[in-house]
Amino acid sequence: MELPKAGGYRVFADFKPQGGEALTLGADLAASGAYEPAELPERNTTARADGYEVELDGNLTPGKASDLTLTVTRDGKPARDLQPCLGAYGHLVALRSGDLAYLHVHPNGEPGDGKTQPGPEVSFSATAPSAGANRPFLDFQHEGKVRTAAFTVHAGGVVDEAEQPSQAEPAEEEVGHAH
């Protein structure tokens, strides 16, 4: 694996062996060279990814299931033909700032169940393990390519000054998250 630049990385393998329970394994990697830690991106509930805009509606709540809906649009038009990726119209992963605690949530419903639509909305029920800043990433597939939208949100508790809501434009960034 070639890392894109110097710094610390955490990688995860999230899988379910046939006949077994779901497992998540994690490992830390380091790439040598000049490194300066990046600031946590500003809070955002709208993200841009490869020409798409994704709106996050809902809040993560520590210790309680919360409904989250992510709406995918392209050029202002709803993406109503998302394609299944690993058996779902979307996958949501969140990493908590500070300790990189990992949360992986599958969407409510699945392709072919007779009620789940292929977009533009993908809904999830997620429970944050504790209060704090989180970086949720939504993977979705459209036109044969998996894209990742990245957000910064706060799960319950006190919001510190660095995490106050901003009026910034939707975030578009290169992310190294992939399934």
Domain parsing of the chain, residue ranges:
42-170
For residue 31, give the amino acid letter.
Answer: A
Q: Which stretches of 40-177 are assigned E, i.e. beta strand?
A: 46-49, 52-57, 66-74, 77-78, 91-96, 102-105, 121-126, 132-142, 145-150, 153-155, 171-172
124-177 residue pLDDT tens = 999 988 889 999 999 999 999 999 999 999 998 555 544 444 333 444 444 444
Between these two residues, 116 and 4, which has the higher pLDDT value?
116
Mean residue pLDDT across the chain: 85
Q: Look at residue 107 and give its three-state secondary structure.
A: coil
CATH classification number, 42-170, choose in 2.60.40.1930, 1.10.8.350, 3.40.50.300, 1.20.120.80: 2.60.40.1930
Cβ atoms within 10 A of the Cβ of 153, count?
20
Between these two residues, 162 and 23, which has the higher pLDDT value?
23
Quote the CA–CA distance of 137 and 144 in Å, as a whole number: 19
Instruction: Evaluate if residue 179 carries a pLDDT over 70.
Output: no
Region of residue 147 (phi > 0: left; psi between -120 and 50: alpha; otherwise: beta):
beta
Average pLDDT (116-123) is 96
pLDDT of residue 97: 86
This model's pTM is above 0.85: no
